[in-house]
Structure 1
């Protein structure tokens, strides 16, 4: 598509980012990727940073209080054609609505319901990947099932650092276990932790992947991240994503232990906190999503990963207005 036609195609259409909160880097990268789309941030609180970095802001009701007809009415009124969920708790909700919204020409960057249910449940995720023969980290509802000198205890569902306990001994694991709502146990494996961002196309194939080393992690989020050349790791993540029939931007967390063996930890079927680095590195997920939503094939678009490593440092910055 010619440059002029591309600009004209994107004009007067809106993209809604849900749970925008303080996700300014995400909003900035969307503006850079699809600059002529009207960008709307949605959040249940009006007192969030995102409201200062978008074209419009929606102080939306709690998700549990939104009926689908109300959501469609809002989208039609604001010319919202594209929706980006950014929070784990939104995924299943919008996966259920996906087909209905598409009939209204409102497209959500999200996998189907069965894929979301599978990736959201860490125990089912483990059981499924084990059946496929992938090197997934052992996961159990019983600490006694895990043979390890130290453990990782986390919630069975959800993402982030809430109720996450890493590299703890068995006696401590037994103490924290009752404090979690629905705990699972994994062995603690020493090694390097990587995130793999992937864009999955409508045809079920991976468009490309960027592997990031998580150099500095604070409260479960990467504060310093750099791209690395790990083709075997990228292929593993893409193979798994295709096996699970995922769609849109998805992210895997994988550990390479001290013997070079790979262990798949989990999959977040959404855009991650530090995934903006992968967009800069050539994984143009938002533009590809919009093109596919409008029945434009992206099969022949060349994916060009960086030839040199890119490093991302996440830090606070002042805005004076």
Structure 2
């Protein structure tokens, strides 16, 4: 029976499913989601309509994984990372492997205030973050939720007065100074030995509703080195993604880290960051330390757009 890889919260993540198929073509691909009415089910070998996370019991989950010969799991939603980080060791005992970092790493990366405090302690150039806007002196501000990811409840480049007015609408608002400049996303693969395998830097050329619609790879060895050091310091694992803004003076400011595969991270896989293949090899106790990673010399550009499937 062919081994299976389960993508959690598959929803409409069709580009992710395509890149996994290209990376590991000899594996059965299963999309999992709480709704059966998702488009991802049309692009995989099988579909699993799953219970809500709060109703998902580990014995039930393990039994269903074994029934479908699921050996590898890719969480894709911020809200499920900590849950599966806590289950990780129990699943490993059943020969089921999850590409997720440890619970401590998830706690740090999912809490923007804790992330700032942790990186500041080590002297990294992380953007100042506070619960109190009075702690921040800036011409304009960013207001966002303390936890979570994405563009929901994200307000950028607004006045102090507007930031104060908007913040009560958020569940747990945090404040940051707005820093203009070029935005970069950096994908990193962290090995089981705690070392970074490699990093790809992507320039966010066109961002709509918090998502990169046009992205291109760039050679920024300083940024790649910086985030690999940060990822090693935080003892992260698997595919993780950092966001950085480089100001007009060329100084980097680390904004946040999403300890998962990002929406436009498929570009980094195409550019040579072979995260899914590496994850499977490491899960099978195969060392990838001697496998060479080369940063792309040729610039690649990704354009994300809608496409029809007629069946």
| TM-score tier after normalising by the smaller chain length | over 0.9
Equivalents in 2 of 1:46, 1:217: separation in Å?
30
TM-superposed CA distance for 1:304, in Å, is: 1.8
Equivalents in 2 of 1:70, 1:188: separation in Å?
46
Equivalents in 2 of 1:43, 1:79: separation in Å?
18
Ranges of 4+ aligned residues in structure 1 off by more than 3 Å: none
1:206 matched to 2:196: yes
Equivalents in 1 of 2:209, 2:307: separation in Å?
19
1:41 matched to 2:43: no
Per the alignment, residue 268 of structure 1 pairs with 258
Deviations 1:243-302 (A, max 9, x none): 000000000000000000000000000000000000000000000000000000000001
Q: Any stretches of 5+ residues in structure 1 without a counterpart?
A: 1-10
Q: How big is the alpha-carbon RMSD for the aligned residues of Structure 1 and Structure 2?
A: 0.6
Deviations 1:165-216 (A, max 9, x none): 0000011101101000000000000000000000000000000000000001
Q: How does 1:209-228 map to 2 (within 5 A)?
A: 209-228=199-218
Per the alignment, residue 252 of structure 1 pairs with 242
Q: Any stretches of 5+ residues in structure 2 without a counterpart?
A: none
TM-superposed CA distance for 1:33, in Å, is: 0.1
SS in 1 for 2:244: strand
Q: 1:232 aligns with which of 190, 207, 222?
A: 222
Q: How does 1:10-21 map to 2 (within 5 A)?
A: 12-21=2-11
1:52 matched to 2:52: no
Q: How does 1:295-310 map to 2 (within 5 A)?
A: 295-310=285-300
Deviations 1:71-116 (A, max 9, x none): 1011000000000000000000001100100001100000000000
Per the alignment, residue 3 of structure 1 pairs with none
Per the alignment, residue 65 of structure 2 pairs with 75
Equivalents in 2 of 1:223, 1:54: separation in Å?
24
Using the size of structure 1 for normalisation, the TM-score is: 0.96
TM-superposed CA distance for 1:156, in Å, is: 0.3
Per the alignment, residue 118 of structure 2 pairs with 128
SS in 2 for 1:307: coil
TM-superposed CA distance for 1:305, in Å, is: 2.0
1:284 matched to 2:274: yes
Equivalents in 2 of 1:305, 1:235: separation in Å?
12
Equivalents in 2 of 1:186, 1:106: separation in Å?
40
Q: 1:106 aligns with which of 83, 96, 121?
A: 96
SS in 2 for 1:137: coil
Q: 1:30 aligns with which of 20, 29, 32?
A: 20
SS in 2 for 1:253: strand
Q: How does 1:82-101 map to 2 (within 5 A)?
A: 82-101=72-91
SS in 1 for 2:126: coil
TM-superposed CA distance for 1:158, in Å, is: 0.2
Deviations 1:18-69 (A, max 9, x none): 0000000000000000001100000111111100000000111111100111
- For these two proteins, the number of residue pairs brought into alignment is 311
Equivalents in 2 of 1:55, 1:195: separation in Å?
31
Per the alignment, residue 150 of structure 1 pairs with 140
1:194 matched to 2:206: no
Using the size of structure 2 for normalisation, the TM-score is: 0.99
